[in-house]
Amino acid sequence: MLDLWFTEKQTKNVNFTCRIARTLHTETSKFQNIAVLETEEFGKMLVLDGTVQTTVEDEFIYHEMITHIPLYTHPNPKMVLVIGGGDGGTIREILKHPSVELVVLVEIDERVVEVSKMFLPEISSALNDKRVRVNINDGIEYVKNLESNNYDVIIVDSTDPVGPAEGLFTLDFYKHVFKSLTDDGILIAQTESPFFNRSLIKRVYKNISTIFPIAKLFLANIPTYPSGLWSFTIGSKKYDPVSTNLQDKYDIDCKYYTKELHRSCFVLPKFVQELLK
C-alpha cells in the first residue's frame, strides 16, 4: 500500500504534514487550485493553493468562534454578510441564531461552493437554506458598491492575505465595511497567526481601531492552522463583546464556544497584548 502524505508549506522554515488516505478531488479553477483530501487524523480536508482551509474534524473551532462571538454580542442580528467562506461552515453556524432573517455569502470562486457542496456536506449543507443568498463576486467590489447601513454583522471568512484576498485586509476595505454596517453593526475578520503573522495583526488591529470605536482581538486554538494559535479581530460600532450580558441569551448547540469562553478568549498572552499597543 502507498504511504501518502500532504505537506503545506506554512512559512519559509516550517511545514505541516499529515498522512492522507486518498485524494477525493482536485481541479484548478479561475482563481486557485482546489483539492479535497481524505486524511487519517482530520477527516476530509479542503485545500486551496496548497493551504489547509478547513477539515471535518477541527472546523467547528474556527466556524463557531468567527460566528458566535459577534452574533451573541449583537442583541438582534437579522442581516448578516459573509465574505469568502464558500465552504459554508460559517453559514451553518449563523443559521443557529433565531433572529437571523437573511445571510448573503459573497464568494469569489464559484467552484469552492460547488466542490464543498459535493464533497463536504457536513460543512456546506446550510448553503441550501432559504435564508441564504449566494453571490459569486469579489467581496472588495461588493462592499464598495453597497449602500450604507445594510448589515448588522459582516464576517470576513477569507483565505490568507495573498491574491484576491489581499485587499480584504486593508484600511480602505474596512472603511467600506464600516459604511455598510448598521449604526450598531459589528465586523469580524479572521486575522491569521499571532506567532507567524505579527506585522499583519498589528496593521489590521491599528486600521480597525482607527475606524471603529471598539476594536478587540481574541484567540482560538486550531490544530491544522499555522502555529495552532489563531486570531480574530472585531470592529464594533456600539457593543463591546467582552462586556456583553450573555446570561439571558438563548443556548445553541456548540462543541467549542461557551458563554464563559466568550469572555476568556479575549484574555491575551503578553506577547499578543504587545502587538496591539
Residues classed as catalytic: 157
- Name the residue nearer to ligand SAM (CB basis): 124 or 214: 124
Coil, helix or strand at residue 50? coil
| 49 near ligand SAM, rule: CB under 6 A | no
For ligand SAM, what does the binding mask look like between residues 104 and 143, x meaning CB under 6 A? --xxxx--x-------------------------xxx---
248 is in an annotated binding site: no
Q: What grid cell was written down for 50?
A: 496548497
| 226 near ligand SAM, rule: CB under 6 A | no
| 165 near ligand SAM, rule: CB under 6 A | yes
> Closest approach of Cβ 237 to ligand SAM, in Å?
23
Compute how many residues bind ligand SAM; rule: CB under 6 A: 25
What single-letter DSSP state applies at residue 190?
E
Q: Residue 202 in contact with residue 209, Cβ under 8 Å? A: no
Q: What is the 3-state secondary structure (H, E, C) of 152-182?
A: EEEEEECCCCCHHHHHHHCHHHHHHHHHHEE
> Closest approach of Cβ 155 to ligand SAM, in Å?
11
- Contacts with ligand SAM in 80-109 (CB under 6 A)? 83-87, 106-109
Per this entry, what is the length of the chain?
Answer: 277
CA distance 6 to 60: 22
164 is in an annotated binding site: yes
Q: What grid cell was written down for 269?
A: 498572552
- Name the residue nearer to ligand SAM (CB basis): 60 or 239: 60
Q: Residue 189 in contact with residue 160, Cβ under 8 Å? A: no
CA distance 244 to 265: 14
> Closest approach of Cβ 206 to ligand SAM, in Å?
21
CA distance 277 to 260: 26
- Name the residue nearer to ligand SAM (CB basis): 87 or 152: 87
109 is in an annotated binding site: no
> Closest approach of Cβ 224 to ligand SAM, in Å?
9
90 is in an annotated binding site: no
Sign of CA dihedral 142, 170, 77, 115: positive
Give me the sheet containing 132-136, strands edge to edge.
132-136, 102-107, 79-84, 151-157, 181-190, 229-236, 214-221
**Residues flagged as binding site for spermidine:** 63, 87, 157-160
Q: Which residues bind to ligand SAM, rule: CB under 6 A?
A: 31, 48, 53-54, 62, 83-87, 106-109, 112, 138-140, 157-159, 164-165, 168, 190
**Residues flagged as binding site for S-methyl-5'-thioadenosine:** 32, 107, 138-139, 164
